[in-house]
Amino acid sequence: MIGALDHPQLTHDWFTTVLLRVGGRGLVIYERWALSFSGIEDVRGVADRGEVILDVYYLMYLISFLMVFVLFRRWREDGWLKVRKHVVYDAVFMSLTATLIGAKAAYILIYNPDFYFKEPATTGEMLRRIFLNWSGMASHGAAFAIVLGAFLWWLKSRAPVVHMGDVGCTAGAFGAICVRLANFLNGELYGREAPGWLPWAMHFEVRNGRGNKLFVQEGRWYELASVAQPDGTMARQYVETQPYHLGYELVQQGAGGARHVDPAAVPSDLQHVMLQVITSPRHPSQLYQCLLEGVLLFAFMVFMRKRVRRAGVLAGIFFAGYAGARFIGEFFREPDKQFQSAENPLGTVLGPLSMGQLLSLGMLAFGLGVIAYFLRRGRLISEIELWPPEPPASAAKAGGDGALAGSPPPVDPSSR
């Protein structure tokens, strides 16, 4: 039985999460081919960073929002969702905007403010980190923003946002499947140390709170960071940094694959080599969360859709179910690096609880409250009227009699 499996990012040179990138050589496809006016060029192993315009993470977000559209449209057409056709597009736009703003804002303010604000950086670099780095997202922030957006929509129009929220939350459970798969493919948010007998334990790249890879050379720790140059440009350089406090191994990446190295016994031929830091065998907690927060929750919500009688209950099931699943999954997931230190290597924030678990407790209480409230006070779905209602027929005003000029006068039915 295999004791530990390598994450593909460490062993297969063809593996990458970047699908499209614009660099100095043109449009780079899958980090292998550059397409330009000069033709197609093989750029494997060529340092040409540029800007990412499509990676697996972006693609998964796109698939998630397509599911929002599909569910709104399909459930409207089968008569369960009582809204007119154009409302589907309004709902998708609102949920997309709220998700992107809320998830990014929560990640910046709660999980990683140092990277975005406190670290010395030019204004341009700070804006680039915020708007061109969507890999840092917090699901609790997305949920809060969607609830706030729905409330503001209701204040403005009295739209049946609770009923629409049932559909949106179901799509949110599907989105959890996509996002957790992207987390796995990106090699991020991996799990805590796994026992040696676990056959699906994996190694992952170690990155610090700024998202930079860590390396060791002659016992000294470095991160591969973007450093401002005298001419104003940014270049990748090795910068001394703080050590990683949890279990790790070292690896040398070469043409023949990954060569694993015991940190306590580095061979003489690798003493002066920059060795990349990888984790000790870990739980692939991204896949655990994909199953709990995504597959199981989504299937349960689809099953319950026509079994709940009142609007809002399905949304409450999502909030409570997601929070409960996230709370359980956090026991296998390594807490956020931003909270790790030599005194607190695991990175918990309140006893054995992580930040994700604390936020999940609040979300769980909110979800249970939503279920309890709408079970009693929610509108019966069978009695919800189509929204927006048909506008009343109003005669155009012309002159002072309210009749359209040139049109016949209204007919009194009693005269027929």
Q: Under DSSP, is residue 113 helix (H, G, I), strand (E, B) or coil?
A: helix
**Which residue in 40, 38, 35 sits closest to 23, CA to CA?**
35
Angle at 267 between CA 266 and CA 270, to 5 degrees: 85
Residue 305 phi, psi (nearest 5) = -55, -50
Per-residue pLDDT tens listing for the chain (416 residues)? 344 667 776 766 556 688 898 988 899 898 789 999 988 998 876 766 678 888 888 899 899 999 999 999 999 999 999 999 999 999 999 999 999 999 999 988 988 887 777 765 677 777 777 776 666 788 889 999 999 999 999 999 999 999 999 999 999 999 999 999 999 988 889 999 999 899 999 999 998 877 789 999 999 999 998 787 787 676 789 999 999 889 999 998 776 677 889 999 999 889 899 999 999 999 999 999 999 999 999 999 999 999 999 999 999 999 999 999 999 999 999 988 778 888 898 889 999 999 999 999 999 999 999 999 999 999 999 999 999 988 766 544 444 444 444 445 554 444 44
Residue tagged 């060029």 (tokens): 41
Token code pair at residue 286:
């991204």
383: which DSSP letter? G
What pLDDT is attached to residue 340? Answer: 84
The whole-angstrom separation of Cα 388 and Cα 188 is: 44
Residue 402 phi, psi (nearest 5) = 75, 5
DSSP codes of every residue in 331-358:
TTBPPPGGG--SSSSS--SBTTB-HHHH
Q: CA dihedral defined by 106, 109, 112, 113, rounded to 10 degrees?
A: 160
In whole angstroms, how far apart are CA 270 and each of 217, 254, 382? Answer: 9, 12, 71
**Which residue in 126, 176, 230, 236 sits closest to 360, CA to CA?**
176
415: which DSSP letter? G
What pLDDT is attached to residue 403? Answer: 45
DSSP codes of every residue in 272-312:
TS-EEEEESSB--HHHHHIIIIIIIHHHHHHHHTTT--BTT
The residues, ordered by sequence, that sit 6+ positions from 361 with a Cβ below 8 Å of its Cβ are 323, 327
What pLDDT is attached to residue 414? Answer: 43
Specify the pTM: 0.83
For 150-297, list the strands marked E by DSSP.
Answer: 202-203, 214-217, 220-228, 234-240, 248-254, 257-261, 275-279
In whole angstroms, how far apart are CA 141 and each of 105, 111, 347, 379? Answer: 7, 11, 20, 27
Token code pair at residue 239:
């910068």
Length of the chain: 416
